[in-house]
Chains A and B, each alone.
Chain A
Amino acid sequence: MKFITKTGLKALVTGLIRDYKVYGTVKKDGFPAYGEITDAKQLVLLQTPTHLSAKGFVFPERETLLRFNMEDGSHKPVVEAADQVIIGLHACDIHAMLLMDRVFAYGAPDANYLARRAKTLVIGTDCMPDEHCFCQSIGTMHATEGFDLFLHQTKNGFAIDVGTKRGAAILRKYTKAVTAAASEIRNMEAFEKKRAGSFKTRLDAPAAALPAIYARSDASPVWDRIGSICYGCGSCNNVCPTCYCFDVRDEPAANLKQGERVRVWDACTLEEFALVAGGHNFRKPRGARLRHRFNRKFRYLTDVFNAPFCVGCGRCIRTCLVNINIAEVTNELIAEDAKRGIIDETVRTKKAER
């Protein structure tokens, strides 16, 4: 484990700004957000999550896939990616990005995402849970991969996990890192211990049990109840670091000669998401749309990728206008399921494997 002082971090960030587009956590109008860092002073390493996740840096809310000419019919693929550094991702955000990496590399590899990701350096930092964080219950509380550097704030500076050769190289190039002293590591461990005891939101079942519990909960009264208060606004999808559903549409230029085929974020909680041309909507009730979103987080994608797709960041809880709380809802489903009296073999097996 390496160590740099606070001045050392300033040197690192200043150096990175010279050679890369640098984005990091800032306070924007008093709110925690990611923003471009043009001066090391702007970086504010936050202890709690930003409102929007970091997914937009690798999966922008609008990106060009093709440029076409409507007169001669030519189409040119567009893959835009710039070298960039993102500073301040927490463990949950890093886990989320690892999941996105798997999604976009899978099947037909997504040229646009993969090019951006390859040019992105990730510098993580430690955090302290707020009332809605529940990464501890999901198992995404610590990141062991998915970052180039990971900063642990200690009394005198930062103890650093070096995740990749690229991380080691920027550390060497821009700042003076030394081997972390035992006192710094103790300091970091004390922080982590405090952190582990600070979670106020917990899931009442192990993450491995959730796919089966969700599978038995399709008919739960919970869905109608939260559906009746949901606005169907899509905010939960927008702030989620692992929501990646998208729309593809054409944007002709004003001269109606050229144009772009663009990919924009879409949201399964919006009314038209599953609407087909004949007018049939396969998930019209808001409760059905929420059930779909929650199942994607805990069951559908878990069945494919063998990992929960909720990373416990709590963003959807903080942003929801009517206080729909994915952790509370999941705990309600867990409680309902306990009444069914089903002994879940998958959980017992998974526990035994550990």
Chain B
Amino acid sequence: MTKTPQTVPATNTAPAPQQTGPASPYLPTEALVTRAAKLTEKERLFALALLNGQNPNHTQYPVAVESTRPSGIAPNAGSTLNYLPGQFYMVGLPGYGEAPFSVASPLGASEGLELCIRAVGNLTNAIHRVPKGGRLWIRGPFGTGFDAASMKGRDVVFIAGGIGIVPMRSLIKTIVGNPGYGRLSLIYGTKSPDDLLFSGEMTEWSKAGLRAFVTIDKPAKGWSGNVGVVTTLMAKLDIDPVRTTAVIIGPPVMYKFVIMNLRKAGMRDEDILVSLERRMKCGLGKCGHCQINGVYACQCGPVFKLSDLHGLPEAL
């Protein structure tokens, strides 16, 4: 019997697959779409509930990287829908793959887990076709989240650009309307009025005490509000650097300039929180795509204190 030696392992010749050792961390949980609403031409908001209540097989995996920089706060142990603002889920559709999406709903939301998804590729366009009553498959929650309780007694400045408003909404709705916080302010910038998300809710947040400043990048017909990048509104914030926590979520280009302004206002890096977007394939600190220098954003982030990003030139 002579066979040509093969240079790759013949994986298909394995005997009957058998489940030994730990369960696959890649097995997703089935979730029911309880609401699917169009927000803009590109974005839809989905509310999800688990089909059979909580998933009994859910495991909260330990953070994989020992040299983790203390940031945000550690993932909360618990079940699939027990998330923190700022955390994310891997959301998938069989045949289309999985991608990471930030939580859009607040801590302890009665309406279930909300995700706001922009259609930009194959998977997200397929997700957009999922109607109410349809299903999505999720893994998570992953990463660090915002510790809203630690912001009590402080002024909080939310600075969001573009789709960064989605995770910011989770934090804003966790904080706004609750007692114990200082002055709350939001600056939100988008490319055009058509891209504005949650403008209806913003009115409610304003009524509940949030100062909201909205800006668009370029003049547009029918727009009477501010025009310019988010930093053009920062002077209006009148920041008290000692008692303020700033949260920044936006496109990569935004961070540097916003941080420059916050530092100019006297803020310390310890009081500036950012959430950083990266490509992610596993959520488990292994696939390598989300690495910021030596740090896995899926484990040590996506929420970081700015002071924890010193020495990570790839971060911002």
Contacts and interface: CB of A to CB of B under 8 A. Distances in A.
Decide whether A and B assemble into one complex: yes
B56 interface: no
A26 B4 CA distance: 11
A61 interface: yes
Say whether chain B's binding surface is mostly helix, strand, loop, or mixed.
Answer: loop
A248 B291 contact: no
Contact of B294 (A34, A36, A299): A299
Interface in A48-89: 52, 56-57, 60-63, 65-66, 68-70, 73, 75, 77-82, 84
A304 B63 CA distance: 12
Interface in B49-95: 59, 61-67, 92, 94-95
A104 interface: yes
Contact of B314 (A69, A107, A250, A283): A283
Contacts of A98: none
Contacts of B195: none
B61 A300 contact: no
Contact of A61 (B8, B135, B279): B8
Contacts of B199: none
Given A82-B14, A246-B286, A111 B21 contact: yes
A245 interface: yes
Contacts of A56: 8-9
A328 interface: no
B294 A256 contact: no
Contacts of A21: 10, 13
Interface size class of A (residues with CB under 8 A): 35 or more
B295 to A, nearest CB: 8
Given A107-B63, A109-B22, A111-B21, A36 B5 contact: yes
B2 A276 contact: no
A39 interface: yes
A189 interface: no
B288 A250 contact: no
Nearest to A105: B22
A300 B6 CA distance: 34
Say whether chain A's binding surface is mostly helix, strand, loop, or mixed.
Answer: mixed
Contacts of B63: 107
Contacts, number: 203
Contacts of A276: 277-279
Interface string B285-302: 111110111100001000
A348 B251 CA distance: 44
Contacts of A191: none
Contact of A259 (B1, B95, B251): B95
A280 B61 CA distance: 29
Contacts of A121: none
Contact of A60 (B9, B30, B66): B9
A8 interface: no
B94 A108 contact: no
Interface string A296-307: 100111011000
Interface in A251-276: 252, 256, 259, 261, 266, 268, 273-276
Nearest to B118: A277
B220 interface: no
B94 A303 contact: no
A258 to B, nearest CB: 9
Contacts of A26: 5
A15 interface: no
B281 A118 contact: no
Nearest to B30: A73
B286 A274 contact: no
21 contacts: A21-B10, A28-B7, A33-B5, A38-B2, A60-B8, A106-B64, A107-B62, A107-B284, A108-B62, A108-B284, A108-B286, A110-B25, A111-B22, A112-B24, A115-B20, A245-B288, A245-B289, A250-B95, A256-B95, A282-B278, A300-B293
Interface of B: 1-3, 5-11, 13-15, 17-28, 30, 59, 61-67, 92, 94-99, 118, 120-121, 124, 135, 137, 251-252, 277-279, 281-282, 284-289, 291-294, 299, 311, 313-314
A-B CB proximity, top 4 nearest: A107-B64, A35-B5, A300-B294, A245-B288
